[in-house]
Structure 1
Amino acid sequence: MKKYNHTTYAILGILTTGCRTGYAIKQLIDQSLNHFWKISYGQIYPTLKLIVEEELSIVQTLSERGKPERNEYFLTDKGKAVFKNWLETPIEQIPVERNEVLLKLFFGRHQSKENTLLQLEDYQQKLVERYQLYQNIEKMITSTPHNTEDVTYWLFTLDYGKRVTNAAIEWCDATKEHFIK
């Protein structure tokens, strides 16, 4: 079976949620996937074009009086099979995190300890804000009716984000202690 890039698989997955238009796909990405998987707006339409060309999806153009035409995308059986095959394939490698704070800390001896401490405090504050955002997302997911099976898996990924963020907040506390002594 042909391999596609992860953006293609992400778009195929998004189409299983009921998002049918490029705009709806972008909204879902901004509200959920963007916290752990970045897809730019400029990647969406070329990917949609590719999945139609590869017969993983069909497109239907809808016309409503007084509104511009819009394209809606629907997975084909082939698209569902490709997506399911990707889901069932083991991951190739553990993701590598790109973290500017860690990069700066690695070279931290070249700046003042006060500045390093300020950067750690700023980073920690951003993490606290992210954690609060995750809590708000969790409230939104659990208070809004969705497909129950989807919600369970969305909450699993959200829990991962909360745990990683909380661990990073704790790491900030422990690391800052070295600069406060």
Structure 2
Amino acid sequence: MARENQTKYAILGLLTTGCRSGYSIKQMIDGSLNYFWKVSYGQIYPTLKQLVDEEFATVETTLQDKKPDKKEYYITPKGKQALQEWIQAPFKELPTEKNEFLLKLFFSQHEEKNIIYAQLSEYLKKLHERYQTYQSIEHMINSSYADKHEAQFWLMTLDYGKRTTKAAIEWCECSMKKIDQL
């Protein structure tokens, strides 16, 4: 059975936030969704075309002087219905995280202690950077979108990222202590 294209729902959802062009969709993905849902730039335009073909979105082309034509996309009632049905449908399973660092750690039994410790230190540094990024995003949402209803849902999603990152920081610190005791 073929896997359903979840990216089309991500883009349908972005169309409900006022993102109209492929560029604005990419900007929103880079600033928010990319922390929990990866969408490559190369997926955006084919997915927008698919949404138009399925009548989930419409496209309006504006001619521009000395520039390529500007395409703006709008979600249709059929698209809103599809998005709503997708949101209401139960999710099938918990996702499996692919984490290169954990894979390396799993096979590190023959590695020198200082190498493992250095990698844990680097991982911890990156986790702190991510946490700071999440705090900056939270500040931006609270200062720029506090009056928007959808901001509460963005903040709930962000809270998940902050909490899981904080848990990963604690795990990393604990693992570093264990390496010290080896």
Normalising by the smaller structure, the TM-score range is: over 0.9
Kindly provide the amino acid, as one letter, of the partner of residue 178 in structure 1: K
Name the SS of the counterpart of 1:162 in structure 2: helix
1 CA distance for matches of 2:93 and 2:147? Answer: 30
Name 2:63's counterpart in structure 1.
Answer: 63
The within-5 A match list for 1:20-31 is 20-31=20-31
CA RMSD of aligned residues (A): 1.3
Contact 2:145 2:151 in 1 (8 A): no
The within-5 A match list for 1:54-133 is 54-133=54-133
Identity %: 53
Name 1:136's counterpart in structure 2.
Answer: 136
2 CA distance for matches of 1:141 and 1:70? Answer: 28
2 CA distance for matches of 1:116 and 1:133? Answer: 26
Name the SS of the counterpart of 1:39 in structure 2: coil
Contact 2:113 2:179 in 1 (8 A): yes
Number of residue pairs aligned between Structure 1 and Structure 2: 179
Name the SS of the counterpart of 1:71 in structure 2: strand
Alignment CA distance shift 1:147-1:85 (3 Å) = farther
Name the SS of the counterpart of 1:110 in structure 2: coil
- Is residue 8 of structure 1 aligned with residue 8 of structure 2? yes
Kindly provide the amino acid, as one letter, of the partner of residue 82 in structure 1: A
Deviations 1:28-82 (A, max 9, x none): 0000000110000000000000000011111000124454311001111111100
2 CA distance for matches of 1:179 and 1:67? Answer: 58
Deviations 1:74-104 (A, max 9, x none): 1111111000000000111101101111111
Question: Normalization by structure 1: what TM-score?
Answer: 0.95
Name the SS of the counterpart of 2:98 in structure 1: coil
Question: Normalization by structure 2: what TM-score?
Answer: 0.94
Name 1:155's counterpart in structure 2.
Answer: 155
Kindly provide the amino acid, as one letter, of the partner of residue 72 in structure 1: E
